[in-house]
């Protein structure tokens, strides 16, 4: 690390004033990067993550290319599940596919425990390589949240309505909480190992929890999330919670011991504040905007930055992840716009 360490985003996550609005982009590593697409011709996602040197290269590429304020570790929310006995494959164009979905008590009882030094040593090696040698910005680690992980484990893959997951939750509520406890303990172990290896912030992706109503969230999910974040708070790193289509849950998110709440594009910063959300906010340009003309991109980006600067507690991001059809040039121009326009 030859350059001075850029801790802007960490200060913003703590609610401190910064010289500009810091930014990173969900799914910034890979997707549309030509170097990554060449690598993907040879290796699958899991194969890349099992090679620390290669994984570190993919992780740091967007920092070098776009000049953003954080890196996020290249991996998938499915990464720790094989250690628990879950047979998962990332299928191109589909997403995670699980050959042995959970159906009964025996399936849940048979889930194993994560032993990071043995099961995901390659992840820890990648983190150390990045944080000790290669990055001059903070590295963000992450995990899927219990509901989102459970939805894949029960459905067997992506779902449009999460019907099997909800039916299991309602009909087998006792087993549901056993599963939540097992996933919570795994997440705490997993995240703790990432922080000890060197990550400086953690994002918990509860991507699909917005499919639940407020009452079900409070009964079946919120107690587990409170337990997880209470334990992770002891690690003394910024904690970010993000969900899609979760506007109706933002007040409940705000109750949790998190530092930052990620917004998707459906909720503006002023709307979140009007609801009573007090945490630092992250977001929230619709990724589809980046397929429009530059005038549209610039206008919408500036509007979000204006709201964020008026608010004073904002980190710029997309409202969901970079899609494969978004070009490197667009992301580079976006990063430059954010930095120059928000310069204090």
Q: Does domain 8-341 have CATH number 3.40.640.10?
A: no
At 145 the pLDDT is: 98
pLDDT of residue 75: 93
Residue by residue, DSSP assigns 160-191 as SS-HHHHHHHHHTHHHHHHHHHHHHHHHHHHH
Compute the CA torsion angle 251, 26, 136, 4 (nearest 10 deg): -60
CA distance 294 to 334: 9
pLDDT at 29: 85
Taking CB atoms within 8 Å and a gap of at least 24, the contacts of 164-168 are 166/211, 166/212, 166/216, 168/102
Helix or strand run (H / E) with residue 116: helix 116-119
| DSSP codes joined into one string, 301-335 | HHHHHHHHHHHS-EEEEESSPPPTTS-HHHHHHHH
Residue 102's φ and ψ, nearest 5 degrees, are -70, 135
Residue 30: predicted pLDDT: 77
Residues in the chain: 344
CA-wise closest residue to 283 among 293, 273, 269: 269
d(CA 283, CA 289): 13
Report residue 281: phi and psi, to 5°: -110, 145
Distances (CA, A) of 74 to 130, 177, 276, 330: 11, 30, 34, 21
Going from N- to C-terminal start, the domains of the chain cover: 8-341
Looking at residue 336, its pLDDT comes to 98
Q: Which helix (H) or strand (E) holds 225?
A: helix 222-232
Could you state, in chain order, the average pLDDT of each consecutive group of 10 residues for the chain (344 residues)? 84 97 93 88 93 97 96 95 93 88 96 97 98 96 98 95 97 98 98 98 97 98 98 98 98 98 98 98 97 98 98 97 94 98 95
């Amino acid at each position: 690390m030859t350059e001075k360490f850029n801790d802007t985003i960490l200060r913003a996550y703590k609610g401190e004033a910064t010289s500009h609005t810091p930014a990173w982009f969900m799914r910034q590593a890979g997707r549309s990067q030509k170097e990554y697409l060449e690598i993907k011709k040879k290796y699958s996602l899991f194969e890349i993550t099992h090679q620390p040197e290669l994984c570190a290269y993919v992780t740091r590429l967007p920092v070098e290319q776009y000049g953003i304020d954080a890196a996020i570790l290249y991996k998938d929310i499915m990464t720790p599940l094989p250690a628990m006995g879950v047979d998962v494959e990332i299928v191109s164009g589909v997403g995670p596919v699980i050959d042995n979905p959970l159906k009964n008590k025996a399936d849940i009882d048979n889930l194993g425990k994560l032993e990071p030094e043995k099961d995901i040593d390659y992840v820890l090696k990648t983190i150390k390589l990045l944080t000790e040698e290669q990055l001059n910005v903070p590295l963000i680690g992450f995990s899927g949240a219990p509901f989102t992980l459970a939805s894949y484990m029960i459905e067997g893959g992506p779902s449009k309505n999460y019907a099997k997951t909800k039916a299991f939750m309602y009909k087998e509520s006792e087993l549901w909480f056993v599963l939540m406890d097992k996933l919570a303990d795994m997440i705490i172990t997993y995240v703790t190992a990432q922080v000890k290896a060197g990550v400086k912030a953690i994002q918990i992706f509860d991507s699909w929890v917005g499919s639940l109503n407020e009452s079900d969230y409070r009964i079946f999910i919120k107690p587990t999330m409170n337990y997880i974040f209470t334990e992770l708070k002891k690690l003394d790193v910024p904690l970010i919670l993000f969900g899609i289509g979760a506007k109706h849950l933002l007040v409940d998110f705000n109750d949790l011991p998190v530092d930052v709440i990620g917004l998707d594009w459906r909720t503006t910063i002023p709307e979140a504040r009007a609801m009573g959300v007090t945490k630092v906010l992250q977001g929230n340009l619709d990724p589809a905007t980046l397929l429009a003309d530059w005038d549209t991109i610039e206008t919408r980006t500036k509007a979000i930055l204006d709201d964020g600067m008026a608010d004073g507690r904002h980190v710029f991001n997309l409202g969901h992840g970079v899609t494969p059809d978004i070009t490197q040039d667009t992301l580079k121009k976006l990063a430059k716009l954010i930095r120059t326009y928000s310069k204090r």
